[in-house]
Chains A and B, each alone.
Chain A
Amino acid sequence: MPFRRLVPLALALTCALAAPARAQEENPTVIVTPSGESSRYKAAVQRFAGDAELALKLREAIGAGLDFSSLFQVVSPQAFLGSDVSGPLDGGPPIACPDWRQIGADALVEGAVALRGDNLAVEFRVWDVARCQKLERKRFSGKRGDLAFLGHKVADGVVGAFTGKPGVSATEVAFISDRTGKREVFVMDVVDGRPKQATRNATINAFPDWSPDGGAIVYTSYRERKRPYLFVLTRGQQSPGRVFKNLNPGWQIFRGVFDPGGTKLALVISVNGQSEIFTIGRNGSGLQRLTNAPTLELSPSFSPDGSQIAFVSDRSGGPQLYVMNADGSGVRRLTYNGNYNTGPAWSPDGRWIAYEARAGGQFDIWLIDPGGAENVPLVTNPSNDEGASWSPDGRKLVFASKRRGAGDLFVIDVDGTNLRPITSGGRANTSPSWGPYDRDLR
């Protein structure tokens, strides 16, 4: 009977059609969570086309910048299967992605370097080797002496191409050091570790803070009348010196910090012996008093959108962190752990406020979220760790520590890994302020 045979056939056909789809549907989900260990992309950096000596130095600087990012590890050129030297960026043969994959590279960096007179130009391109895709192509220029700096910018560009935020190896840190015998302001590239002295007044200087455009540093100095006033350093031009001279000369200005827009500053001023927080326009106009309490109000730090200010007050007994709106309203207490918390620094992404917490007679660095729900230690060590300042990408912090003696600056990733010193051999290096991105990377 034909129909009798048809029944099982139809059933079998139906099942056969449905089975693969059902099997596919039914595969369980593989959930992959991050390991908590830091892992790095592997980058193959070719020797850029152009002068070989320059190209080798440039490659070294790119490698140092990538290493500083904590996100990339450089593949030794000896492992390369293909050419060690970049071909032309335009019209050259296509890169052999399988060869780069085979040596484990995730990124290939190629480019060219050219020196004309004293002017240096660097152009690079970065590939995502796994997908054989060009991700980024950029050109930077500078003077011959900027070779390492340009290499760091290339590295930062590579980091940006893979993660969406450039690296920070081509940024600077301002800090106070007594290596000359007096506390002066110094500035150094965060990677190369050679501090340049920025003030020479042989008095006491403190609390440098970068303007958001990187063009100025405001700092406190006792250089006039042995009283604290604010001064400004600018790049490559006559620095304006003391600022806000229009304020009551009886007031002492202990500290100034720029707001994220760079148009105003928050000041800590001693009024009749009582320290209070004010804001003022960069040009000295619009002074506004934000706090008015018979207690100490210190250490203002703006939120990244400029709408709030974290600060320290001892209105509840010991110093604790508080947050207020940028007009002084809506004050709320943020920290409750321990009895001595100071030095707030709001992260550029707004996620955290870093601060110093005294525990057992030493200062550690903690992170608290602005809502106060999460509060975690970042740096704990049986010595003092203090003065945290965020990198412009929010992935790292610089802080001062006495763990090696007099005091050095250290950098650490926000997840608590990759601790490294960036100063050495000095005496006290304190009060770091991490500068903004170079303008080419903003």
Chain B
Amino acid sequence: MVGGADELDGIDRSRFRAMVLGSAVAHVLLLAFLFFGPALSPPPPGIPGVVVVDLVTMAPGLSPAPAAAPKPVAPKPAPPKPKPKPVPQAKPIPPPEPVAPPKPPPPVVNKTVLPKEAMAKPKPVPKAAPKPEPKQVDYDDLMKDLREETGEERPEAVQQAASGAAASTSTLPTGGLGGTVKVSPEVMAWIRDTRIHVRKNWVKAPGFQRLQTQLSVNLDAAGNVVGEPRVIQRSGNPYYDDSVVRAIQKASPLPKPPRAGEWPFVFPSEES
């Protein structure tokens, strides 16, 4: 140390200042690089984060819905009961004609099959009186909304956003490596509207099961899709991938986005 002080005495002061400043700049640059570095590298393909979040938001006990399955509320078969009740009825006889069971009610108008009413999804539980304080909306809430959305009942957070009553932030997955980002209620509302809009333009043929495609969609400030959406993660079925690219293209212009740029879209083949 002492030796250092002695050395200073022999150096021109302005040169010394320049060296210190130069060194400071170099450190700042290094720190900035370390901080922003990950953001500068391109996102890797395959986005486990989205899947993870999806799982988190599934209602407990829900098994992955069968893709082509009727929208049921099927009285799920009670897990295998080991033994059925012996039935006192007569044995069926190998039929020369289809078995005609004891017969039913008068012909009835098509009370069709799998009606939404019969197979309705669980009704959203009516929420208690609106809370006075702004609610912290997170991804679970969003997914819950997704499941209820055909009723067009606006989620609390969106209502708040629309009325300007609150300015809470939400946490959503990003297109990055399982990361999350805080977003405003306005962005939440845009995501919801966009999803509804794109969904209306998506034709998903029965038979596509357990598939998921991720796109990166370049949107301009007005919501126009710029160029062709890029497939970031393929589903393994090119026809499925094509169907979601078509959906985005046909949906253009999307609702006006909060900001222009690349937006990640994920299309799972099943409702979660």
Interface residues of A (CB under 8 A from B): 1, 3-4, 6-7, 10-11, 14-15, 17-18, 20-36, 39-41, 71, 106, 128, 130-131, 162-165, 183, 204, 206, 220, 222, 228, 254-255, 268, 270, 275, 295-296, 298, 314, 316-320, 335-337, 339-340, 342, 349, 351-352, 358, 361-363, 367-369, 372-384, 386-387, 393-395, 400, 402-405, 412-417, 419, 430-431
Using CB atoms, name the residue of chain B closest to A369.
Answer: B66
| Given A6-B25, A39-B200, A316-B83; A375-B104 close (CB under 8 Å) | no
Most buried by B among A130, A320, A375: A130
Q: Give 24 pairs: A residue, B residue, CB < 8 Å, sorted on A.
A: A7-B21, A15-B32, A27-B175, A30-B266, A32-B247, A33-B272, A128-B246, A162-B205, A206-B95, A314-B91, A337-B75, A376-B66, A378-B113, A379-B114, A382-B104, A383-B104, A383-B108, A395-B206, A403-B107, A403-B108, A413-B206, A416-B71, A416-B113, A419-B113
Q: Check A337–B203 contact: CB distance below 8 A.
A: no
- List A contacts of B205 (CB < 8 A): 71, 162-163, 165, 395
- List A contacts of B242 (CB < 8 A): 128, 162
- List A contacts of B95 (CB < 8 A): 206, 254
Q: Check A36–B271 contact: CB distance below 8 A.
A: yes
Q: How far is the CB of A269 from chain B (nearest CB, A)?
A: 9
| Given A361-B104, A369-B66; A14-B32 close (CB under 8 Å) | yes
Partner of A377, one of B72, B86, B91, B194: B72
Interface residues of B (CB under 8 A from A): 17-18, 21-22, 24-25, 28-29, 32-33, 36, 39-40, 43, 47, 50, 54, 63, 66, 68-72, 74-78, 80-81, 83-87, 89, 91-105, 107-114, 118-119, 143, 146, 150, 172-176, 179, 181, 183, 187, 191, 194-195, 198-200, 202-207, 209, 214, 228, 237-239, 242-247, 249-250, 259, 261-272
Q: Check A377–B228 contact: CB distance below 8 A.
A: no
Using CB atoms, name the residue of chain A closest to B93.
Answer: A296
- List A contacts of B83 (CB < 8 A): 316
Partner of B18, one of A3, A162, A255, A361: A3
Q: Check A378–B70 contact: CB distance below 8 A.
A: yes
Q: Check A417–B187 contact: CB distance below 8 A.
A: no
Q: Check B113–A22 contact: CB distance below 8 A.
A: no
Partner of B150, one of A35, A71, A380, A417: A35
- List B contacts of A314 (CB < 8 A): 91-92
Partner of B203, one of A10, A39, A270: A39
Q: Check A25–B94 contact: CB distance below 8 A.
A: no
Q: Check A31–B195 contact: CB distance below 8 A.
A: yes
Q: Check A31–B54 contact: CB distance below 8 A.
A: yes
Using CB atoms, name the residue of chain B closest to A164.
Answer: B239
Partner of B101, one of A10, A317, A339, A363: A363
- List B contacts of A25 (CB < 8 A): 39, 43, 174-176, 179
- List A contacts of B262 (CB < 8 A): 24, 27
Q: How far is the CB of B58 from chain A (nearest CB, A)?
A: 12
| Given A30-B195, A403-B107, A414-B68; A361-B101 close (CB under 8 Å) | yes
Using CB atoms, name the residue of chain B closest to A5.
Answer: B21
Q: Check B207–A394 contact: CB distance below 8 A.
A: yes
User: Whole-angstrom distance between the alpha carbons of A104 and B39 in the complex?
Assistant: 39
- List B contacts of A15 (CB < 8 A): 32, 36
Using CB atoms, name the residue of chain B closest to A316.
Answer: B84
- List A contacts of B146 (CB < 8 A): 31, 33
User: Whole-angstrom distance between the alpha carbons of A375 and B173 in the complex?
Assistant: 33
Q: Check A28–B187 contact: CB distance below 8 A.
A: yes
User: Whole-angstrom distance between the alpha carbons of A10 and B21 in the complex?
Assistant: 12
- List A contacts of B198 (CB < 8 A): 30, 32
Q: How far is the CB of A258 from chain B (nearest CB, A)?
A: 19
Most buried by A among B75, B191, B203, B246: B203
- List A contacts of B195 (CB < 8 A): 30-33
Most buried by A among B32, B69, B202: B69
User: Whole-angstrom distance between the alpha carbons of A217 and B21 in the complex?
Assistant: 92
Partner of A31, one of B101, B209, B246, B266: B266
User: Whole-angstrom distance between the alpha carbons of A368 and B72 in the complex?
Assistant: 12
User: Whole-angstrom distance between the alpha carbons of A25 and B28 in the complex?
Assistant: 23
Q: Check A382–B199 contact: CB distance below 8 A.
A: no
| Given A32-B265, A375-B74; A204-B80 close (CB under 8 Å) | no
Using CB atoms, name the residue of chain B closest to A130.
Answer: B249
